[in-house]
Amino acid sequence: MSVNKEKYGKYVEKTAKKSPILKNCVKAFLIGGLICVIGQALMQLYLYLDISKETSKALVSVTLIFITALLTGLGIFDDIAKHAGAGTLVPITGFANSVVSPALDNKSEGFVMGLGAKIFIIAGPVILYGTAASVLYGVIYYICKLFM
């Protein structure tokens, strides 16, 4: 049995298309950086419009989420992600895409069983474990503060 696995492994290694790692890293860096530059430009725009710094921060997040959701709905974000790879996983845009994509894929099943049931299928674990990790960190921080 292990001989077949070895042969198969050699076959896969020989026939698999080699990934251009350096090229992919440069594209991810540039496109991810561009997303961050857009976020910074939005921040400067909101500050220029005399919106408070705290409100501007929230508006940048909301704007990036809206743009990502819109581009996902139009099918453009997936084309960008094909080239950018991990560069589109800048947390706010990656999260927005992970919520909108399953919602669009399952909208034909209706609002409850399709959209409602599937909207957080990808983002749900991120929310769950992110929240759990923050609670655990908060408890540890609280305990440490008691003894210091």
N-to-C CA span, the chain: 59
**Do the Cβ atoms of 107 and 118 come closer than 8 Å?**
no
Residues 13, 15, 17: CA angle, nearest 5 degrees? 90
pLDDT surpasses 70 at 72: yes
DSSP state of 106: T
CA dist., res. 65 & res. 59, Å (int)? 10
Check residue 136 and give its pLDDT. 93
pLDDT surpasses 80 at 57: yes
Give mean pLDDT, residues 35-43. Answer: 95
pLDDT surpasses 80 at 41: yes
Which band of pLDDT confidence, cut at 50, 70 and 90, is reported for residue 56?
Answer: very high
Which band of pLDDT confidence, cut at 50, 70 and 90, is reported for residue 115?
Answer: low
Which band of pLDDT confidence, cut at 50, 70 and 90, is reported for residue 34?
Answer: very high
What does residue 104 show for φ and ψ, rounded to 5 degrees?
-70, -40
CA dist., res. 29 & res. 22, Å (int)? 10
Give mean pLDDT, residues 112-121. Answer: 70
DSSP state of 148: -
